[in-house]
């Protein structure tokens, strides 16, 4: 049986410091059928990024484009890719050698070809020293959207994605600077793709000083607030956590998470959704149903929690 081709896309902007290690980890994959596309997103480092990439010669495919952000670089790589699958590797991250092979083999065991594979990742510092080991995950597949927006556990470089998913669901949103990956996974989930966890570590995600800034944090707050507000308004409870759950209590839980994260609009929307079911609480209590009592207790906990976050939420509105 012929192995499917996997296209590993490495978007990079001014990434000369770490790009070599990323490309070498892609070249070291044990899976025999990969292509590596390095997409230079308009680097202005005097040609350093270009020089690092070109040292690999014909081992990689090298693309250059005007600067437009990581979403546009990923989209350019997807458009140019020849593979059946897409795998994203940040220029400062590192794949483990068996990442691609294990995920392709796992995909073959699934009945549905509209599936996305993900794994967990370790954290390393700028020098490659281990900071933290990724934790194995365990939750029902129907709760993927709920867990994604509640726990934000998914590292984009841990995924293996059928290329056709990007044409069916659209590419990465170039208007987003910080949450373009999460927004993409949510659209895929809503478009009928299921996300399946392979319990292995697939990559090392690097934490370093060049990633953060006050301006970027402000953008992250705004974009997360808008994205999670959109999810609350547009996804049904069944799409977020499946049937048979206490929907109001789940919305309360999300409101608490959003409030702690200083996401005022998403918090209000989750609260509003949680209150929709309150009209039946008194009736449930009269009937002696436990669900109503649980909901009242959750709302009391919510009010107590929100009370101390008022100032933080107001500040978040001004970001």
Q: What number is the average pLDDT over the span 49-59?
A: 98
Per-residue model confidence (pLDDT) at position 92: 95
Q: Which residues of the chain form CATH 3.90.550.10?
A: 6-211
Q: Write the pLDDT tens digit of every residue in 274-308.
A: 877 555 544 554 555 545 555 556 556 555 555 54
Q: What is the pLDDT of residue 1?
A: 58
Q: Is the pLDDT of residue 238 over 50?
A: yes
Q: Which CATH number is 6-211 given?
A: 3.90.550.10
Q: Compute CA distances 105 → 100, 115, 194, 269, whole Å.
A: 9, 13, 17, 41
Q: Which of 63, 87, 74, 118 is nearest to 5 (CA)?
A: 87
Q: Over 60: is that where the pLDDT of 71 sits?
A: yes
Lowest-confidence range among 69-73, 136-140, 192-196, 232-236?
136-140
If you search the block for the tokens 């040292």, which residue do you land on? Answer: 55
Measured distance CA(116)–CA(186) in Å, rounded: 12
Q: What is this structure's pTM?
A: 0.87
**pLDDT digit string, tens, across residues 117-148:** 999 999 999 999 999 998 888 888 899 999 99
């Amino acid at each position: 049986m012929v192995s499917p081709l996997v296209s590993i896309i490495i978007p990079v902007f001014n990434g000369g410091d770490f790009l070599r290690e990323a490309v070498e980890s892609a070249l070291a994959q044990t899976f025999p059928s990969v292509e590596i596309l390095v997409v230079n997103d308009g680097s202005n480092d005097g040609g350093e990024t270009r020089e690092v990439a070109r040292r690999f010669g014909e081992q990689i495919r090298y693309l250059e484009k005007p600067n437009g952000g990581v979403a546009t670089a990923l989209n350019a790589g997807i458009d140019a890719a020849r593979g059946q699958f897409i795998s994203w590797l940040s220029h400062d991250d590192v794949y483990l050698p068996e990442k691609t092979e294990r995920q392709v083999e796992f995909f073959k065991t699934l009945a549905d070809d509209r599936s996305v594979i993900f794994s967990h990742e370790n954290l390393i510092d700028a020098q490659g020293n281990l900071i933290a080991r990724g934790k194995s995950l365990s939750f029902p597949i129907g709760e993927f959207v709920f867990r994604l927006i509640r726990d934000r556990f998914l590292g984009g470089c841990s995924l293996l994605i059928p290329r056709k998913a990007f044409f069916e669901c659209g590419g990465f949103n170039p208007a987003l600077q910080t949450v373009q990956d999460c927004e993409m996974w949510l659209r895929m989930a809503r478009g009928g793709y299921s996300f399946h966890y392979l319990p292995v570590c697939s990559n090392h995600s690097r934490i370093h000083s060049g990633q953060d800034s006050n301006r970027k944090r402000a953008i992250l707050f705004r974009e997360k607030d808008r994205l999670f507000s959109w999810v609350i308004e547009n996804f049904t409870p069944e799409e977020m956590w499946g049937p048979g759950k206490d929907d109001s209590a789940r919305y309360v839980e999300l409101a608490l998470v959003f409030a702690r994260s200083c996401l005022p609009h998403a918090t209000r929307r989750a609260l509003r959704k949680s209150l929709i079911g309150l009209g039946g609480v008194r009736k449930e209590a009269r009937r002696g149903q436990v669900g109503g009592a649980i909901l009242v207790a959750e709302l009391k906990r919510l009010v107590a929690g929100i009370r101390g976050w008022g100032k933080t939420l107001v500040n978040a509105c001004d970001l």
